[in-house]
Structure 1
């Protein structure tokens, strides 16, 4: 009875039903960009005419008083490592009528922590089995999986399609948010989880007696997307392919690069309740107040004429934090201030703390997760530094553009697709880029930005360009719709269009 009621709620034959599977979904659970995407892309898809249902684990004990959760009465039981695992299905809503179905299981997901390294294969395999069962229950048309955590769902779904006439019309999409994380699993453990291990892939020879869940998900899906056009090209090379470049080239006809967007209603400096002052591209004056109060909050010298650079990042080498630290003395000599927020590698955390002690009025290092302070840094900083070695897309520079914090980025992946070099002769561009990943190149690029900052008319034009950049989900959502149409065979053409450079 409950199953029939849920199916009826989603039966509108005019558009496909997409089951969007992710192990984190903002604002309920978020560790990185995956959570942001899972919490905002499905809403944009709904605005574009797609019926979307997000499916995610509930991390912790469900509480009807928190997050407007409600019981559905549904439950799903699947095989687990130690016997059957039952998930109770709860419901919340993201907006625009988009439901989130949370799968609660106290044995596997009973603590409010998204990733538990030693148990993640077991937890996410069981979750993936439950996702496949929901594909059947809801008569969904497309399984949209995200990263290696949901690749077992793609593998099992593909096998079931070959055996079930009721499922053979269903299709699947895998979105790769970061190719570096692949879910490599010991063969014996994978066998115990119920995964097929008899035919090893060429890519699995790197680590003998293992299977690569991401690689197998790549082969099981009908289409593969990445989160920027440039990253889609980069990962087909040995330099960026993380050992899967051959397989990605093999699947290139089904590989699409689509830029991420952000929720521009949530991230809006004109209305953001976390900010002490509000502003927009048409009325940017409130940003000055945000800067002054941020300098005071962080103990930096209170000087509106002094350029303030924000850094909000996981502190690790992939994000280029080591290169930033190597340039710190040169940055201080340029007269800039740094506001660094994040956690990560303990060695890099110690270095950030040390430079904060050495330059207390110029460098503020805040070593914690603090989403409200993050938004005050976006609003109060003049510039935003992202020196990533590689970056599939990046969310930080998109939020920075929205808040008028001019990005300074390494020219890679989605950073190159979303930031265009400022050209004073034409007054075009929305930021600054460096091509060589080294402290000297970073410092030279910051120097260009500081020179522009000291020309108020130019800087105002540049800041307004940044704020008027299109960082919304509108265009990317339509590109995902096109991918869905192609794999369902409801449109002509063999390829979906990729996001053009510059978004």
Structure 2
């Protein structure tokens, strides 16, 4: 394989939009392959066929997969992600790996046999390839669920000529989630116990799916340049910083993009009033509609939006500490999220306390998320850490100005307008503290209220920024070509 030849890539991910999604991983897995296909490469996706997936698909093949000395059947069905590029119909083939016992369930995660479920994914994805006649140059593995695929390829499958030249890239979307299981998990993979050592997959007495990917992949990348640096420190390294430092020459950062066809305020069917950079005055119609939907007074006042997984990572404890102070401002605050019961209950109580100023929806609601991006003036992300973050990219696309703590991808994509009036696109702060967050919110509100002409320019600048996947896909292509030439 020569550099710049058409590459063959298998993208393996548990979540892929629009089929199965709990977070940003699905957006990446559903969008990056489209950009690479648009550039002329043969990119296909493998994922579990969960109960919720009811798209059109056709039967391809089936075969047994040995998991812990028992046979499980893998049924391969093929669907696609269709899209248009230069007015031509294109598609990304998606192979749904189906097993009734493992995947016919209401949720994607949080089952006692998750190790079995994702070990099956890793094995089935590899064993499918000769059966469908697809021999990828690169297997692109995403997050901990796919880490053991890198191990299996190197420990077992490269003995066979069909797999010998395949290389792996392993993308860390969030190092906090590692997939650490008991030592018994080795039996799922039919590999020798010699892999269970600190130099390989053993991690404080557990078998670590994440560590398997970090040790055995040819190249590692994560989803922003700042997060690459952060995860090599004790503060953000989740006890893997030593290994990541050791592999620092194989570690890269590429910030995520977003799908500009799907997330486009000019054509988005999920929002009430479409608008673009030349008609930003129409954006207010979305605010008025959301106020009605959320039972808030309909008036033109600053609205702050927050869409997030409700977890400690997202800095929500700081927000709860200061919500009473924030509510002293003449504003409205709208929150959409699901997660820890502590936060769900807490924000519902604040909604009761401030019925004319707060709208709260707990749960997953993608159309509502778009209406919040379109309606809000400001978008809050007070994260403790953020590998990349997509919320700030969506908000910029919709002319909603982000207020963020500068960490990970937030530091790489949001720049304070009061530090750089020509290029700034939001409001930022550095310390993970409620006081700094509150100060920055107040600073943003003052800017909005006292500098209307500068605010309008800020919104236009935000909407004109190119955070599309096309830019990031070029960087991934460069990384793939490096990988092709790399000797392990």
* Same fold by TM-score greater than 0.5: yes
TM-score, length basis structure 2: 0.93
Give the superposition deviation at 1:202: 5.8
Aligned residue in 2 for 1:68: 56
Alignment length (residue pairs): 473
Give the secondary-structure state (helix, strand or coil) at the position aligned to 1:24. Answer: coil
Aligned residue in 1 for 2:322: 327
Deviations 1:333-382 (A, max 9, x none): 12221101111111111110111011111111111211111110000000
Aligned residue in 2 for 1:231: 227
Deviations 1:11-48 (A, max 9, x none): xx941210000011111110111111111110011122
Give the superposition deviation at 1:427: 3.5
What is the alpha-carbon distance in structure 2 between the residues aligned to residue 196 and residue 473 of structure 1? 41
Report if the CA contact (8 A) 1:424-1:458 is conserved.
Answer: no
State yes or no: 1:86 paired with 2:73.
yes
Aligned residue in 1 for 2:15: 24
What is the alpha-carbon distance in structure 1 between the residues aligned to residue 202 and residue 416 of structure 2? 42
The correspondence for 2:375, drawn from 366, 372, 380, is 380
Higher strand share: 2
Aligned residue in 1 for 2:85: none
Q: CA RMSD in A?
A: 1.8
State yes or no: 1:130 paired with 2:124.
yes
- Aligned counterparts, 1:188-207, within 5 A: 188-198=184-194, 199-201=196-198, 207=204
State yes or no: 1:58 paired with 2:55.
no
Aligned residue in 2 for 1:351: 346
Structure 1's 411 and 425: CA in aligned 2 closer, same or farther, altered over 3 A?
A: closer
Aligned residue in 2 for 1:408: 403
Aligned residue in 2 for 1:498: none
Aligned residue in 2 for 1:421: 416
Deviations 1:103-156 (A, max 9, x none): 111011112421133111001001110111134441111111001101111110
Aligned residue in 2 for 1:102: 96
Report if the CA contact (8 A) 1:203-1:243 is conserved.
Answer: no
Report if the CA contact (8 A) 1:427-1:461 is conserved.
Answer: no
Deviating above 3 A after TM superposition, structure 1's stretches of 4 or more consecutive aligned residues are: 202-206, 423-427
State yes or no: 1:241 paired with 2:232.
no
Report if the CA contact (8 A) 2:277-2:460 is conserved.
Answer: yes
Give the secondary-structure state (helix, strand or coil) at the position aligned to 2:146. Answer: helix
Give the superposition deviation at 1:476: 0.9
Aligned residue in 2 for 1:500: none
Deviations 1:467-490 (A, max 9, x none): 112110011101111111111119
Deviations 1:224-272 (A, max 9, x none): 0100010011101111100010100111111110011111100111111
What is the alpha-carbon distance in structure 1 between the residues aligned to residue 428 and residue 130 of structure 2? 47
Structure 1's 469 and 484: CA in aligned 2 closer, same or farther, altered over 3 A?
A: same
TM-score, length basis structure 1: 0.90
What is the alpha-carbon distance in structure 1 between the residues aligned to residue 242 and residue 360 of structure 2? 41
Aligned residue in 2 for 1:280: 276
The correspondence for 1:488, drawn from 459, 468, 484, is 484
What is the alpha-carbon distance in structure 1 between the residues aligned to residue 126 and residue 48 of structure 2? 14
Report if the CA contact (8 A) 2:68-2:187 is conserved.
Answer: no
